[in-house]
A and B are shown apart, each in its own frame.
Chain A
């Protein structure tokens, strides 16, 4: 048990350390704008990442032997807070793609000692980026409906098939993929989870352009790609339980992430005052918009309070829980509504695609609005989250869908 006095001491230590080690050249670096890849970063960036990795503070709750710092959740929170307070950032999670948020925690739980030693340190240091091969074309949210096959060839599995929405696959070194290892078994019983290097002849990626103009997602093709048998995570044909866990970690990581990035953004109501103006009593000149903005601010506050309540109830240990589905949907609603309100508030200036008639902020709002539409689709759509809540939390019977 960590006492608050211990935490205060730790807080001072972290604060000092961040002040000393965070390079001033990185002030104002917008980590949210685009996840940095190894190629495009400066020497200062690499030095900062390395300094964090040396302390194990990129993944503070992971065991020391695998590159973490073996700290408690409250201590990890102190690190997060102090880093944010200093205007700094932790580049390691975004540099690893799905590594820190999803793959790592799942390896910690399902991996053999050998797998942990092989894969975790590279993630903890931010050097190895991971993507995931889960969805397939036409499968949508029905993840067990997959046809990528893995055939046993002695030391390895040989993979053939196609994955879609593989975020960051084009810049990842490793991929965690669900594959069909027993075509005769029932849908969820013949699946396995394998890990394979992306740098091999049998793996090909293509970018998918989205409505926002960005291409964070890929299609990934396996043509006789090889996955070492030692990299089978969990038991053969028991991949579904590994995936379920992985998805829980995904929901967990999506419950608070977007709010954490842009801490210095001007509040919506202040922006609104500039675009819409105020009445004599100081209220927004558009009373309908005003009330909808209040509603959104209240929803955001309710979300924040729920995250802290659930944390407090779990006595500081943030666990992967069914509550993650509630939080994912509420985070999504807050973010999407805010994006819509921002666009509406900007009026004619809120519909620009490019050009100097529009400010950077306006153009970014439009792209964020479009990009945000993915939130209620990826990581299990809003509807899938509602299925999880009704079945796993409320104990309602399975719906008519098969599977």
Chain B
């Protein structure tokens, strides 16, 4: 754990005890079993709003506490440990980040306070195909006087069924594959021509597929200059990646803790299985990988807070290294638990399923290795 300030330690402790008492993994399981379409429990979400977590990134003038990304990461990590589901990340982290970086004063003052008080859920709609590839945006924004007309689709939109607003990445110039020509619009979920369908995924969260059929938005809904959102979108996505990294550290460290506990208690061949050197070494390797991944994950959040000029590299490093660790860890969670690990009744499967979704969101390990190499110029 990074060296924390007193305030950060308090928030982390609060998140740890709240998550284990009020939003343990059994609560997520119950929500899954009920098949809640939005993919979270209302009471869990309203408690988070009350605790002020929705304002961690938001400046005080908009009703937030402006405590920064590392602090938010601490909360996301603790929630990740319990698989606590809510729109916190999609709206108060990614949505708020997009507004802070790309929004104008009017957009900020109309949405940020409502993100903080939970009356709005603002989420980013970026991906369209099977792979995360912002440059391959095909959703078109056609200028028509002081309006734009949006046509196209979006897939795997986080908290898409409960969202009140979407921040939509659309192409106002260039062709598919072009990193240039992208624009950002903030679009009401109930606007005419926009329809959404739930997507049932392995991790039982609330994702939506959106289709835009001639959706009219006004100039006032455009965030930043038209056709020039590529760079700021990258900055938003990088912050999102670092936040996902924090949650992944939580999921992975919990998977490690469960595995270690099992190694210390499960007996086979007349001995605790953790006394077998093959398993002891595997645990040591996993632990070392976790420590290295944690350094990368925390460094990304710290670089964002420090507004350093190597945020992009740090975030790709985080998503790739934390992703590698979580991938291995979630597989070993099942393998080391043996048969019990395969049952739905045991929690291991829930962690494995969440792990794969987190890995793919905003670019998997391969995406970020490629990006890291490009950032280094080769």
Which A residues are closer than 8 A to B by beta carbons?
267, 269-270, 272-273, 278, 282-284, 290-291, 293-295, 297-299, 301-303, 305-306, 308-309, 312-313, 315, 323, 326, 329-330, 383, 385-387, 389-391, 393-401
Contacts and interface: CB of A to CB of B under 8 A. Distances in A.
Given A302-B293, A305-B295, A272 B378 contact: yes
Given A306-B294, A326-B287, A390-B284, 13 more contacts: A282-B377, A284-B378, A293-B378, A294-B373, A303-B292, A305-B295, A312-B2, A389-B284, A389-B288, A390-B283, A395-B264, A396-B283, A398-B275
5 contacts: A294-B369, A326-B287, A383-B281, A389-B284, A394-B283
B21 interface: no
Nearest to B378: A269
A299 B296 CA distance: 10
A299 B376 CA distance: 15
A399 B287 contact: no
Interface of B: 1-3, 260, 263-264, 272, 274-277, 280-281, 283-285, 287-288, 291-296, 298-299, 317, 320-321, 366, 369-370, 372-374, 376-378
A294 B295 contact: no
Q: DSSP class of A's interface residues: helix, strand, loop or mixed? A: helix
A396 B275 contact: yes
Contacts, number: 125
Contacts of B274: 390, 396-397
B288 A329 contact: yes
A385 B3 CA distance: 26
A119 B373 CA distance: 50
A291 B285 contact: no
A330 B294 CA distance: 14
Contacts of A394: 260, 280, 283-284, 287
Given A294-B369, A305-B299, A399 B292 contact: no
A283 B378 CA distance: 5
B113 to A, nearest CB: 35
Contacts of B317: 298, 301-302
Given A283-B378, A303-B292, A315 B372 contact: no
Contacts of A294: 369-370, 372-373, 376
A397 B317 CA distance: 34
A302 B296 contact: yes
B280 A387 contact: yes
B281 A298 contact: no
Contact of B277 (A267, A303, A399): A399
B378 A298 contact: no
A76 to B, nearest CB: 19
A395 B263 CA distance: 10
Contacts of B299: 305, 309
B159 to A, nearest CB: 31
Q: Which of A329, A383, A389, A390 gathers most chain B CB within 10 Å?
A: A390
A298 B276 contact: no
Nearest to A273: B378
Contacts of A302: 292-293, 295-296, 317, 321
A387 B287 CA distance: 12
Contact of A290 (B272, B293, B320, B378): B378
Given A283-B378, A294-B369, A394-B283, A400 B272 contact: no
Q: Which of B260, B295, B296 gathers most chain A CB within 10 Å?
A: B295
